[in-house]
Amino acid sequence: MAKKAETVSLTDTFAEFKETKNIDRATLVSVLEESFRSVIAKLFGSDENYDVIVNPDKGDFEIYRNRTVVEDGGVKDDNREISLTDARQIDPDYEVGEEVSESVDFAKFGRRAILTLRQTLAGKILELEHDSLYNKYKDRVGEIVSAEVYQIWKKEMLLVDDEGNELLLPKTEQIPSDFYRKGEAVRAVVARVDNTTGNPKIILSRTSPVFLQRLLEAEVPEIHDGLITVRKIARMPGERAKIAVESYDDRIDPVGACVGVKGSRVHGIVRELRGENIDVINYTQNTQLFITRALAPATVNSIRLHEEERKAEVYLAPDQVSLAIGKNGLNIKLASMLTEYTIDVFREVEGVGEGEDIYLDEFAGDIDPWVIDALKGIGLETAKDVLKTPRETLVSRADLEEETVDDVLKILSEEFEEE
């Protein structure tokens, strides 16, 4: 009876998987039957003469072996044949050539058979879990999901969805200021589904531009309805983002619709993104105008494009340069990302027009030679080249001290003032 109870417990174990892994009934029955047949085939070389009946409602199963009745002494295969004498012990009416079907106690196959069955079941269950997880998420890439924090590690967080499926949110896909505790809900976009080894991993992201786009679609009905199109997104997660939008209906102001009255439509998004400031601009196919809009709030005087190199030289008044560059260069970085152009900004200094220029070497008496070499090393050959280049750029690219740069700018400016 102990062995019988152990065998039945296999079905109970499988029932637990059904509750926790969301495997449907038909699949359960099929997998359990296949598992039994797999073990029987290993024991006897074939399962063709066996009937396996699974009853998930009662939590039990039945196995029947079918054998053909042969004359006494004519049994050549105990698994497929039964002697007439043995058959008549089951039922005295059996005759040679008839088929005998008898119930089989799986526990009598031995401990090894039971262990093999458990292992087979576990393998098939794991395979089913993987298939179920992959099928659920393979077509959801780009969708926002909500999941609960289950475990926090140094390089990633393990989340679980409402069906208990495991999802991963790597540290690299988290906003720098993200902070979660176990049990808290997290919203993120499905970035990709890795299934190279047959063990699918669902990777989420909160830094992807797609996450911001989906949040916009949820908050702005005109985007959801297709009246406004999000053309480009550039993000520095948790700090700032620039979004280019376009409307095909002249009656709709795409920027106003996205921002909302007093920023009402972006407030929730900003909170979700940990205070990430959002700039919304009108998209245009006019590259110069697009770059001008992307550099807002700076006012651009003129732009010189190098289409083949995808570079843009932008000229601004001195007081607009810092606005164009932004804190820590954030504004110009985002503008470059949004427009897909490398942007170099230059100041237009009053009094430095299109007249004669002076090579830096001629200032050797006033400026140290190593400083001149440093400036020439970043492609600046003349005084006007230096004066048109933002102070911040001279400090960073030429690797000069701020005081040294200020002295150079003063010397060069005075030369043109004298003219």
Residue type, 379: G
- Whether 22 and 62 share a structural domain: yes
- Whether 180 and 202 share a structural domain: yes
CB 380 within 8 A of CB 356: no
- Whether 196 and 121 share a structural domain: no
- Both tokens assigned to 130: 């993987």
Residue 25, in any domain of the structure: yes
Helical axes 111-137 vs 25-44, angle rounded to 10°: 140
What is the DSSP-derived secondary structure letter of residue 250?
T
- pLDDT, tens digit (0-9, with 9 covering 90-100), for 27-43: 777 877 888 888 888 88
Q: Is the pLDDT of residue 354 over 60?
A: no
- Whether 88 and 200 share a structural domain: no
- Whether 129 and 45 share a structural domain: yes
Residue 215, in any domain of the structure: no
Average pLDDT in the chain: 85
Residue 352, in any domain of the structure: no
Which distant-in-sequence residues (6+ apart) come within 8 Å of 194 by Cβ? 200, 201, 203
- Whether 370 and 413 share a structural domain: yes
Q: Which domain holds residue 234?
A: 224-283
What is the pLDDT at residue 293? Answer: 95
**Range 13-26 average pLDDT:** 56
- Whether 124 and 156 share a structural domain: no
Nearest by Cα to 243 from 205, 206, 216, 270: 216
User: Which range, of 114-123, 150-159, 231-240, 353-362, averages the lowest pLDDT?
Assistant: 353-362
Helical axes 369-376 vs 402-418, angle rounded to 10°: 90
Helical axes 318-325 vs 330-339, angle rounded to 10°: 70
- Whether 55 and 165 share a structural domain: no
Give the helix/strand (H/E) hosting 405.
helix 402-418
Distance CA 231, CA 213 (A): 10
User: Which range, of 32-36, 220-224, 398-402, 406-410, averages the lowest pLDDT?
Assistant: 32-36
Q: Which of 283, 309, 325 corresponds to the end of one domain?
A: 283
Quickly state the pLDDT bin for 2 (edges 50, 70, 90).
Answer: very low
Residue 141, in any domain of the structure: no
Which distant-in-sequence residues (6+ apart) come within 8 Å of 350 by Cβ? none
- Whether 186 and 109 share a structural domain: no
What is the pLDDT at residue 12? Answer: 53
Indicate the number of domains in the chain.
Answer: 4
Distance CA 183, CA 71 (A): 70
- Whether 20 and 123 share a structural domain: yes
CB 51 within 8 A of CB 61: no
CATH number at residue 257: 3.30.300.20
What is the DSSP-derived secondary structure letter of residue 300?
P
Residue 301, in any domain of the structure: no
- Whether 87 and 156 share a structural domain: no
Q: Is the pLDDT of residue 6 over 50?
A: no
Q: Which of 249, 267, 283 corresponds to the end of one domain?
A: 283
CATH number at residue 378: 1.10.150
Residue 338, in any domain of the structure: no
* Alpha carbon of residue 344 to chain centroid: 32
What is the pLDDT at residue 349? Answer: 62
Q: Is the pLDDT of residue 232 over 90?
A: yes
- Whether 175 and 200 share a structural domain: yes
Q: What Å distances lie between residue 333 and 130, 205, 277, 287, CA to CA?
A: 41, 21, 15, 17
Residue 199, in any domain of the structure: yes
Distance CA 190, CA 167 (A): 9
Q: What Å distances lie between residue 37 and 6, 11, 296, 402, CA to CA?
A: 18, 15, 70, 80
CB 213 within 8 A of CB 143: no
CATH number at residue 29: 3.30.1480
Residue 18, in any domain of the structure: yes
- The answer to whether the Cα torsion of 206, 207, 209, 210 is positive or negative is negative
CATH number at residue 182: 2.40.50.140
- Both tokens assigned to 4: 């019988």
Q: What Å distances lie between residue 323 and 151, 263, 307, 403, CA to CA?
A: 42, 22, 25, 22
Distance CA 73, CA 127 (A): 46
